[in-house]
């Protein structure tokens, strides 16, 4: 499925439930009924592998949030009525919850938008789910917002993230050397991104949502 075709608003999106569907995964709004399952998946003791790769250099600085704080965060985001969804749920076509994609302003006055992805179930890694979810979401961001570029920030040890970004058309834009400490080792901070015109060359005009 073409990423830009998938990024066109569906009937579900018009009713407030964004739905972008690929061959392996679909992206949709996080609904109140999802809060408990998503919270439990994030805090599961059975599979914590994702925490070793998703900005692990920040983990010691974070305080564990309660379920009430987690739910309130999503409710506050829903109440803002933004023109795009900064967080979407990733699930398999069959409906199994996998993780989330997100976006945030690095510097809103200059339309500098960054995005990220986390697959919480390690048994779904290296199967194309993350790459497809990232492609669908970047197409959605270009279709929804008047931004010249969408990028990601990661660290040089997270080779899966860098490969996924490269596969959908992102280029290496910056490398800050040996500034991230992970498990006692120094790694580089990595910036990758894709310009709107580069995206359209790859996938066709994205249009506006």
How many angstroms separate the CA atoms of 90 and 113, rounded?
Answer: 20
Say which CATH topology domain 3-203 has: Aminopeptidase (3.40.630)
Sign for the pseudo-dihedral over CA of 186, 51, 125, 71: negative
Question: What pTM did the predictor assign?
Answer: 0.87
Whether the Cβ atoms of residue 164 and residue 131 lie closer than 8 Å to each other:
yes
Whether the Cβ atoms of residue 27 and residue 137 lie closer than 8 Å to each other:
yes
Residues comprising the chain, all counted? 209
pLDDT in tens, 136-166: 999 999 999 999 999 999 999 999 999 999 9
Q: What is the pLDDT of residue 203?
A: 94
Instruction: Return the domain boundaries, the chain.
Output: 3-203
């Amino acid at each position: 499925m073409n990423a830009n075709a998938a990024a066109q608003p569906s009937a579900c999106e018009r009713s407030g439930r964004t739905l972008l569907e690929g061959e392996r995964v679909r992206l949709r709004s996080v609904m109140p009924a999802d809060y408990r399952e998503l919270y439990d998946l994030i805090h599961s003791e059975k599979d914590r592998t994702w925490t070793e790769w998703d900005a692990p250099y920040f983990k010691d600085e974070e305080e564990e949030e309660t379920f009430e704080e987690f739910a309130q965060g999503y409710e506050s985001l829903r109440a803002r009525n933004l023109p795009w969804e900064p967080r979407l749920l990733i699930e398999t076509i069959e409906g199994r919850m996998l993780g989330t994609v997100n976006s945030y302003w690095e510097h809103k006055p200059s339309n500098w938008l960054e995005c990220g992805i986390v697959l919480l179930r390690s048994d779904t890694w290296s199967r194309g789910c993350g790459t497809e979810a990232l492609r669908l979401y970047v197409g959605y961001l270009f279709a929804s917002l008047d931004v010249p570029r969408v990028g990601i920030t990661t660290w040089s040890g997270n080779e899966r993230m860098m490969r996924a970004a490269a596969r959908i058309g992102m280029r290496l834009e910056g490398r800050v050397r040996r500034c991230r400490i992970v498990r006692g080792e120094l790694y580089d901070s990595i910036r990758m991104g894709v310009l709107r015109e580069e995206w359209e060359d790859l996938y066709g005009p994205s249009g506006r949502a």
